[in-house]
Amino acid sequence: MKQPQKAKSSPTVHRPLLARAVNALGITTSSLTDNILSWVQALLFAGIAATLIIVFVVMRVNVPTPSMEPTIPVGSSFFVDKISYYFRKPTPGQFIVFWHTNARTRETDRLVKRLIAVGGQTVQIKDCIVFVDGKPLTAPQFDSPSNPDKSRQCYYNDPRSLMSDPSKVWTVPERDYFVLGDNSTNSEDGRFWGFVKEREFIGVPFLQVWPTDRLGFVNGYFGSSR
């Protein structure tokens, strides 16, 4: 005798969390409403994920001024690595992004400058040369052959700056950074407003996305030479 076949059970339908939350409030939803709530839920989760990435992982910054020319032209755009530097410190020679409050306007902006020295190191600007721990900086960005204007390769002891005295040697406080713009005659930087606090540090650009002819990794990421 043939045994009666058991009725096939209906496949389990996984209803969206948002729909179940609405039902818990005593509101009945149709399958169409569940589908709509599923899309809304996906968008909410995507928005939360994007927010977390922007806050803790990466962000995009644009460079509106010529203070880092010729290394970074006006209008350049980068993605910035924020998360790595919860675990390690930036390296002198990299260009970094940080918050800076203008003493005159009290406006706070994101700036991009080159990291010259970190806490415990000494800095002196003398005869148009930057000395760190008593040694002159000789890296290409401070003597760029792509910039034939020699005056722009000189770090002046501007009488308005904190470093107007070429005989003075400055010690960078612990947990602080000293930064300069590569375009030395057109950059308001650490010479004028001192040191960047560690709490003001945002991150290090790792990928240039504009202009397109400069698309690629920077700051030594993935072996980049820029």
pLDDT digits (tens, 9 = 90+) for 16-68: 777 788 788 888 878 888 888 888 888 888 877 777 666 667 889 999 999 99
Dihedral sign for Cα atoms in the order 65, 68, 70, 73: negative
Q: Residue 9: pLDDT above 80?
A: no
The per-residue pLDDT of the chain, averaged, comes to 83
Q: Comparing 144 with 24, which gets the higher pLDDT?
A: 24
Number of other residues whose CB lies within 10 A of the CB of residue 181: 25
Element containing residue 36 per DSSP (H, E): helix 31-56
- Give the residue-averaged pLDDT of 163-185: 90
Q: Where in the chain is the domain with CATH 2.10.109.10?
A: 60-223
Query: What percent of the chain is predicted at pLDDT more than 70?
Result: 85
The Cα-based distances of 48 to 20, 92, 170 in angstroms read: 20, 34, 44
- Report if pTM > 0.85: no
Q: Comparing 137 with 80, which gets the higher pLDDT?
A: 80
- CATH code given to domain 60-223: 2.10.109.10
Res 88: pLDDT: 85
What does the pLDDT look like over 94-128, one tens digit per residue? 999 999 988 777 888 999 999 999 999 999 998 88
The Cα-based distances of 174 to 16, 73, 117, 118 in angstroms read: 51, 32, 11, 7
Q: Residue 154 carries which side chain, given as an amino acid letter?
A: C
Helix axes 17-24, 31-56, angle to 10 degrees: 120
Distance CA 80, CA 78 (A): 6
Beta bridge pairs of residue 135: 132
Beta bridge pairs of residue 113: 96
Range of lowest pLDDT (81-95, 166-180, 205-219): 81-95
Distance CA 97, CA 166 (A): 27
Which DSSP letter does residue 26 get?
A: T
Res 1: pLDDT: 54
Question: Residues 6 or more apart from 43 whose CB is under 8 A from it?
Answer: none
Distance CA 50, CA 38 (A): 18
